[in-house]
Amino acid sequence: INGGGSLMQDVTSHRSLWFYLFTISWAKRLGNHVMMYGCGIGPIHSPSNRKRASKVLQRSVDAITLRDTHSREELADMKVTHPEVILSADPTVILPAAPEPVVDGILESQGIDPNGKYIGFALRPWPGFEAKAPVFAAAADYAYEKYGLTPVFLPIERRLDVDAARLAAKHMKAPHHILTHTGSSDHTIGLFARMQAVISMRLHALVFAAGQGVPLVGVVYDQKISSFLSYIGQDLYTDLDKVTVESLCGYIDAVYTRIGDTEFLSGGVERLRQVEQRNQETARRLLEGVSR
The DSSP letter of residue 141 is H
Instruction: Give the confidence band of 90 by pLDDT, cuts at 50, 70, 90.
Output: confident
Q: How high is the pLDDT of residue 23?
A: 96
Q: Quick one: pLDDT at residue 291?
A: 58
Q: How far apart are CA 230 and CA 236, in angstroms?
A: 9
Question: Beta partners for 8?
Answer: 41
pLDDT at 269 over 90: no
Q: Domains of the chain, with CATH numbers?
A: 2-87 (no CATH), 100-271 (3.40.50.2000)
Residue 126 C-beta-side C-alpha neighbours within 13 Å: 18
- Mean pLDDT of all residues in the chain? 92
Mean pLDDT of all residues in 165-178: 97
Question: How does pLDDT run across 189-238, given as a tens digit for each residue?
Answer: 999 999 999 999 999 999 899 888 899 999 999 888 888 888 888 889 99
Residue 292: per-residue pLDDT: 57
Q: Residue 172's pLDDT is what?
A: 97
Mean pLDDT, to the nearest integer, of 10-21? Answer: 89
Q: What is the rounded CA–CA span in Å between residue 181 and residue 194?
A: 16
Task: Check whether the bond before 43 is cis (ω within 30° of 0).
Answer: yes
Q: Is residue 272 very low, low, confident or very high in pLDDT (cuts 50, 70, 90)?
A: confident
φ, ψ of residue 40 to 5 degrees: the values are -110, 150
* pLDDT of amino acid 290: 65
Structure-model confidence comparison of residues 68 and 151, the more confident one: 151
Q: How far apart are CA 263 and CA 108, in angstroms?
A: 31
Q: Which of 8-17, 179-188, 236-245 has the lowest mean pLDDT?
A: 8-17
Q: Considering the chain, what percentage of its residues have pLDDT values greater than 90?
A: 75
- pLDDT for 55 equals 96
Q: Distance between CA 5 and CA 68 in Å, rounded?
A: 11
Residues 18-61: pLDDT tens digits?
A: 999 999 999 999 999 999 999 989 889 999 999 999 999 999 99
